[in-house]
Amino acid sequence: MAEANQTSAEPGPPDRWVVLGKIGGAFGVQGWVRITSYTDPVENILDYESWHVHRAGQWQAVEVEGGRVTAKGVLVKLAGVDTPEQARLQTGMEIAVRRSELSPTAPGEYYWSDLEGLEAVTPAGAKLGRVDHFRTTPGGALVVVRGDREHWIPFVKDRIVEVDLEAGRITLDWDLDW
């Protein structure tokens, strides 16, 4: 989540899918899989009771039989996946929940998925492009804005001027030439 000046609190359709992670490789001999979690902290992915995976071009519900965090990361046992061979078939599948299942945000805070697709502008109103995605780096989070050129902007409070979800716009303290 990020803090910013808030103009609107409604983040778009509550039934859209929000990707929380991805299934990695098999772990052990009982069908457990490693999970790459995009949540912060990573173990929060285990808090969601209803997971869906993107399989054969559509979202399908899966039951999580067990999950734990180890030194090797987040591990999960999915119902019906009982062998390493079955676990390997799950590799690479995205894990999502409906937006309506996410916890409400505090005023001025947003989920990154709520900001993706917004038009990004400078304080003077010049168009930088659209928020394409976010990247986490050792130096902090970056918002990737694609327009006439691609901008990788530090996603810090000092750079976020205003977020207006209703208008579909985020104002960032950034210059077109940077």
Q: pLDDT tens, 110-150?
A: 889 899 999 999 999 999 999 999 988 888 889 999 999 99
Statement to judge: residues 23 and 80 lie in one domain: yes
Q: Is the pLDDT of residue 9 over 50?
A: no
Report yes or no on 10 lying in a domain. Answer: no
Nearest alpha-carbon partner for 146 in 118, 109, 114? 118
pLDDT over 70, % of the chain: 92
* 5 pLDDT tier (thresholds 50, 70, 90): very low
- Residues 117, 129: Cα–Cα separation, whole Å: 9
Half-sphere exposure of 61 (CA within 13 A, CB side): 5
pLDDT of residue 12: 55
Statement to judge: residues 94 and 21 lie in one domain: yes
Residue 23 sits in a domain whose CATH number is 2.40.30.60
Expressed as residue numbers, the domain containing 139 is: 116-172
pTM of the full predicted structure?
0.75
Statement to judge: residues 24 and 86 lie in one domain: yes
Residue 138 neighbours by CB under 8 Å, 6+ apart = none
